[in-house]
Amino acid sequence: MLESLLSPIDEQLVPLPEHFAPGTLGANVQRHYGAFPSLEGAQLAIIGIQEARGNAYNPGSAHGADYIRQELYRLYQPEGSLNLVDLGNIKAGHSLSDSQVALREACWALIKQQIVPIILGGSADLAYGQYLAYTHYDSTIDLAAIDARFHVQDTGEEAAVDASNFLYKIIAHQPSHLFNYVNLGYQTYMVAREEVRLLEKLFFDAVRLGEVRSQLEEAEPHLRAADMLYIDVSAIRKADAPGNPMGSPNGFFAHEICQLTRYAGLSDKLSSIGFYEYDPSSDRQLLTAATLAQAIWYFMDGFLNRMNDLPKVKNRTFIKYTTTLKAGKHDLVFYKSKKSGRWWMEVTLPPVKGSKKERTHLVPCSYNDYLMAGKDELPDKWWKFHQKYML
């Protein structure tokens, strides 16, 4: 099925392996030229998508994938045993909806085999297709975005999914598969106050650019909790990523986006990542392609260093901490991994109807959340998680 969805890479834009230096990704990655690559033993799979009809302001994003590949394949492989395949490009379908469905099916075909798709190119509304892959699950998922905007315009039930409304369409999708959404790096002057209120009403998380940049490590628990991540190039400042017509003088620096993608790679839970809205026609000396290529490299490096250290009862690789909130006479339980130094927090929920047993969930958090509890303050993550379950 995958082979029918994906077309070969253009050899004129992405040279054959023998044209790359030994030890580089380009010399070692199996990719779709004539024969379709084998998925046996694959861990990560690159998918390009040549679709931009969802954003009339950035038609050039349909052509971005192969230019990112050019820069990515010049990089040397990260340390470790990496089985990466490049499956080629999804061509634009008869309609935008056809392209979104094709991406959905391609992502699901990989995710169910525990292969992480890395999606390149296309407009940001294709994150809707990425999300639809998870509707095959019975359970809900957490979605993370690195984006300067929210994309929650209510354009009406009958309106097609596009770059202005795709998050709204995800939220409104029935049956709902979305438990939490977090936006990292939104820029206040680019979003309407009503959009912020909508996310607050749903107990979703939105962290302003300045707040993320001031404590970048606080973004790690958000990314550790996510099942999928999409990145809009407009979230990166234009000096480091000129290849986007909607870019801004403000945004993440190149090294910061690399740190964030490494956090995403380290997440044992995250199972897909997409890079959208890259326009090579406005990219000065392929600087944006190089920035995205290095961000992908750091994602791979994080992936190779995954520790599979989710807390388990009676697991000696974790230290358990208990703190009591005096005001509420409530104990908060935290776990710290001896392997990675990462933190989790217990959230206890009332029993479901017909049961007397309380439900306990482990929520990724940071050391600062533990310190906050020690000061008799209830961490926001605990409160928002609890409120979402009470909706």
Which pLDDT tens digit goes with each residue over 237-281? 999 999 999 999 999 999 999 999 999 999 999 999 999 999 999
76: which DSSP letter?
Answer: B
Structure tokens at 149: 């905007």
pLDDT at 111 over 80: yes
Q: How far apart are CA 60 and CA 243, in angstroms?
A: 9
Task: Supply the pLDDT for residue 54.
Answer: 97
Closest CA to 259 of 284, 225, 231, 239: 231
pLDDT at 232 over 90: yes
Task: Supply the pLDDT for residue 388.
Answer: 82
pLDDT at 142 over 60: yes
Question: CB burial class (10 A; 0-12, 13-18, 19+) of residue 304?
Answer: middle
Task: Supply the pLDDT for residue 317.
Answer: 85
Q: Give Dmax over CA atoms of the chain in angstroms.
A: 67
Structure tokens at 310: 């989710």
Buried b / exposed e along 26-40 (16+ C-beta atoms within 10 A)? bbbbbbbbeebbebe
Task: Supply the pLDDT for residue 210.
Answer: 98
Structure tokens at 102: 């094709």
Which pLDDT tens digit goes with each residue over 288-316? 999 999 999 999 999 999 998 877 756 77
Q: How much of the chain exceeds pLDDT 70, in percent?
A: 96
Q: How far is CA 309 from CA 211, 339, 368, 385, in A?
A: 28, 7, 20, 21
77: which DSSP letter?
Answer: P
Closest CA to 231 of 202, 201, 203, 262: 262
Q: How far apart are CA 37 and CA 17, in angstroms?
A: 14
Closest CA to 180 of 351, 347, 352, 374: 347
Q: How far apart are CA 156 and CA 196, in angstroms?
A: 19
Residues in a beta bridge with 229? 144, 273
Which pLDDT tens digit goes with each residue over 162-212? 999 999 999 999 999 999 999 999 999 999 999 999 999 999 999 999 999
- pTM above 0.75? yes
Task: Supply the pLDDT for residue 364.
Answer: 96
- Residue 360 pLDDT grade (very low, low, confident, very high; cuts 50, 70, 90): confident
Query: Residue 139's CB: how many other CB atoms inside 10 A?
Result: 8
Enumerate the domain spans of the chain. Answer: 2-304, 318-390
Query: Residue 83's CB: how many other CB atoms inside 10 A?
Result: 15
Please identify, in words, the CATH class of the domain defined by 2-304: alpha beta
